[in-house]
């Protein structure tokens, strides 16, 4: 699930609201939140909003592309990718799935339901349930916080990637361990920062296998 540190102040007030509302792909998206009972996986973090906006405005054509979201949390990013025309597998750990499904099915028009699936994925453990290299895009927002998950996350990325797969990860760089993950990622993939949102202090990184010629 999307794991991020406790944040004080004004930002936390927004996390405590029962609903967060956004406008993407011509549709109003209402995301249920539940900070008190479910914690960090049940609120929308800025990294998901910034990457959703990047997908909508960044010149990326997701129509009929195969996409997987890791650590989906509330599902905003996967919902937006589906609205933009992708076929999306929206994943998280088992405890987060019920709440995730509520948001996904409440925000996708019925005709788009066949284009999205919510599925359990614990990094490094459920990989046999996912065909290797089957996805055009892998998305993740604020998923590189817990250092003890870094090795399993890298293993998962390597399993899901083909030579053509594009990984897009959005995050704040809060601690040195976040930079350590990026160093680990660069050891296995070609990594470039493709966007920085100054107002929210969120970076977006693109990663691909080293052997892939960068044409994106």
Identify the CATH homologous superfamily for domain 61-209.
Vaccinia Virus protein VP39 (3.40.50.150)
Phi, psi of 164 (to 5 degrees): -100, -10
- DSSP code of 42? G
**Per-domain residue ranges of the chain:** 61-209
> For residue range 172-204, what is the model confidence (pLDDT) as tens digits?
998 888 999 999 999 999 999 999 999 999 999
Average pLDDT over residues 71-90: 97
> For residue range 28-68, what is the model confidence (pLDDT) as tens digits?
999 999 866 766 777 899 999 999 999 999 789 999 999 99
Of the chain, the percentage scoring pLDDT greater than 90 comes to: 78
Distance CA 96, CA 56 (A): 26
**According to the model, what pLDDT value does residue 13 have?**
54
CA 48 to chain centre: 7
Q: Give, in order, the Cα–Cα distances in Å from 46 to each of 139, 142, 157, 165, 197.
A: 15, 9, 22, 24, 10
Do residues 182 and 189 make contact, with C-beta atoms less than 8 angstroms apart? no
């Amino acid at each position: 699930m999307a794991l991020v540190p406790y944040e004080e102040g004004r930002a936390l007030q927004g996390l405590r609201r029962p609903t967060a509302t956004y406008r993407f792909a011509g549709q109003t998206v209402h995301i249920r939140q539940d900070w008190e009972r479910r914690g960090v996986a049940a609120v929308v973090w800025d990294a998901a909003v910034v990457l959703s906006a990047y997908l909508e405005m960044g010149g990326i054509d997701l129509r009929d592309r195969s996409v997987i979201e890791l650590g989906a949390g509330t599902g905003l990013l996967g919902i937006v990718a589906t609205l933009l025309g992708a076929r999306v597998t929206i994943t998280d750990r088992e405890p987060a799935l019920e709440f995730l499904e509520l948001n996904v099915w409440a925000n996708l028009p019925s005709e788009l339901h066949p284009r999205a699936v919510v599925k359990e994925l614990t990094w490094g453990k459920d990989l046999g349930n996912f065909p290797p290299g089957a996805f055009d895009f892998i998305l993740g927002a604020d998923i590189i916080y817990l250092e003890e998950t870094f090795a399993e996350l890298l293993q998962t990325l390597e399993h899901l990637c083909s030579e053509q797969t594009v990984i897009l990860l959005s995050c704040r760089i809060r601690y040195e361990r976040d930079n350590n993950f990026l160093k680990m990622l660069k050891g296995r993939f070609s990594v470039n920062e493709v966007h920085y949102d100054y107002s929210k202090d969120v970076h977006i990184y693109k990663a691909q296998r080293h052997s892939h010629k960068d044409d994106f």
